Amino acid sequence: FNKAWERVANQQKKNDRLREQIKTFAEQVSEAVEQQEKAHVTTLYQSCEHLLVFYGRKSLAAWQREVLMEWILDYIDTITRNPFAGGIDLAALYQAMDATMEKIHPEAFDPFQDDEPHSEHDFFDEMADEDDASIFEKLFSDFQDDPRFDEFFREQESREQQLKDDQQSFNKLMKGGSINKLFRRVARVLHPDREQDEKARQEKNRLMSELIEARDNNDITTLFAFYAEYVGQSPLEELGGDLTDATQLLNRQYAQLRSQHADILHEDPKTAALYQRFHKKTIKASQREINTHLENLQQDINNLTLFCKEVTSLNKLKPYLQMRWEHFNEERW
């Protein structure tokens, strides 16, 4: 039991250290790049508005209009994938795009539709629905044919079964009385009503919440740790006949914590994106990566701003459309 508990406690500390390391690094990166990232997505948004003005020009050829819309959608995609774009509201842009598309392609809109404005998912998502459905069917079919398909579902079933087993083991321990007795002894020590000082009462409230959460989540590691810290004794003395079941549950929790360690990076999408993008082997290397990224962002902002300032007519825009068309065809072939 002591060995199993020690392994779980050490693995939990290891997980907590990694989680804190990733969080701290991501916060530092966020502080360094947030202002520039927001300036970049704002400039991209303004560039979309600028390009959309040209889409309504009747003298554009069909291929030019297609390239122009792809250009705008590329910028929108960049905005939506940026973790710092939370302050950008694309609704107005989508409505402007809908209005422009309806003007140029009235046949694509239902004349009997209601007066409600299109959401960002209406027109452009509808155009892609059929393609998305066929792509999904093909991907799912390919996935079913993949030999890893059965392995994936076996792993899912195994995890679900493990959760059921853990719940049953914990319920058995609770019925045995020893875990419940551990919980009650810690709860008596931490009960906030025993405190006269307001700050101490708030701290006891916080600890009681953690204790109850540990019990509700079958987290006997935390229950044991609380018992050792606040009661001042090893939980081993209280377990009695439940010792074997408790040890088995600890061993399973250790395996879960080890598996969890590999997934910590992906617990928060924004944190994961920043850590994977900028974390290097040394602090200096990470800082160089951040500095280079900031320089590239500023250069892109300058280029976008200059483009909007200088490209004010179709004659000035058309060479850019030609270049993008040629680049698109080169990538296709």
- Closest by CA to 138, choosing from 148, 146, 127, is 146
- Closest by CA to 178, choosing from 244, 251, 232, is 244
- Closest by CA to 81, choosing from 278, 303, 270, 267, is 270
The DSSP result for 291-318, as a single string, is HHHHHHHHHHHHHHHHHHHH--SHHHHH
Query: What are the percentages of helix, strand and coil residues in the chain, rounded to 5?
Result: 85, 0, 15
Residue 251 confidence (pLDDT) above 70: yes
Confidence at residue 235, expressed as pLDDT on a 0 to 100 scale: 76
46 in a structural domain:
yes
Phi, psi of 138 (to 5 degrees): -65, -45
Confidence at residue 243, expressed as pLDDT on a 0 to 100 scale: 75
Length of the chain: 333
Name the percent of the chain lying above pLDDT 70: 76
Instruction: Report CA-CA distances (Å) from 224 to 186, 211, 228, 256.
Output: 10, 10, 6, 17
Range of the domain at 304: 21-120+268-332
Residue 26 confidence (pLDDT) above 80: yes
Confidence band (pLDDT; 50, 70, 90) for 240?
low
Confidence band (pLDDT; 50, 70, 90) for 112?
very low
27 in a structural domain:
yes
Residue 178 confidence (pLDDT) above 80: no
Higher pLDDT, 306 or 120: 306
Out of 22-26, 82-86, 248-252, which region has the weakest mean confidence (pLDDT)? 248-252
Residue 295 confidence (pLDDT) above 60: yes
82 in a structural domain:
yes
What does the block give as tokens for 80?
Answer: 């939506």
Name the percent of the chain lying above pLDDT 90: 47
Confidence at residue 242, expressed as pLDDT on a 0 to 100 scale: 67
CB 286 within 8 A of CB 279: yes
Confidence band (pLDDT; 50, 70, 90) for 162?
low
Higher pLDDT, 125 or 55: 55
Mean pLDDT of 220-244: 78
Residue 143 confidence (pLDDT) above 60: no
176 in a structural domain:
no
Mean pLDDT of 90-101: 92
| pLDDT tens track for 304-316 | 999 999 999 999 9
Confidence at residue 116, expressed as pLDDT on a 0 to 100 scale: 47
Confidence at residue 123, expressed as pLDDT on a 0 to 100 scale: 46
> Maximum Cα–Cα distance for the chain, whole Å?
87
Confidence at residue 58, expressed as pLDDT on a 0 to 100 scale: 85
252 in a structural domain:
no
Mean pLDDT of 21-32: 96
Q: How many domains does one find in the chain?
A: 1
Residue 63 confidence (pLDDT) above 90: yes
d(CA 328, CA 333): 9
Confidence at residue 179, expressed as pLDDT on a 0 to 100 scale: 75
Confidence band (pLDDT; 50, 70, 90) for 105?
confident
> Counting Cβ atoms within 10 Å, is residue 304 exposed (0-12), middle (13-18) or buried (19+)?
middle
SS3 235: coil
CB 14 within 8 A of CB 264: no
Residue 148 confidence (pLDDT) above 70: no
> Counting Cβ atoms within 10 Å, is residue 247 exposed (0-12), middle (13-18) or buried (19+)?
middle
Q: For all residues of the chain together, what is the average pLDDT?
A: 83
84 in a structural domain:
yes
Q: Report helix angle 2-55 to 91-104, nearest 10.
A: 40
* CA R_g for the chain: 29
Instruction: Report CA-CA distances (Å) from 100 to 66, 109, 284, 307.
Output: 13, 12, 49, 22
153 in a structural domain:
no
Mean pLDDT of 226-235: 84
- Closest by CA to 312, choosing from 57, 39, 45, is 57
d(CA 217, CA 230): 20
299 in a structural domain:
yes
Q: Calculate the dihedral angle through the C-alpha atoms of 259, 264, 267, 270, rounding to the nearest 10 degrees.
A: -150
Higher pLDDT, 267 or 243: 267
Residue 134 confidence (pLDDT) above 90: no
Confidence at residue 197, expressed as pLDDT on a 0 to 100 scale: 85
Confidence at residue 215, expressed as pLDDT on a 0 to 100 scale: 85
Q: What is the pTM of this model?
A: 0.68
- Closest by CA to 55, choosing from 44, 38, 36, 68, is 68
Mean pLDDT of 170-194: 77
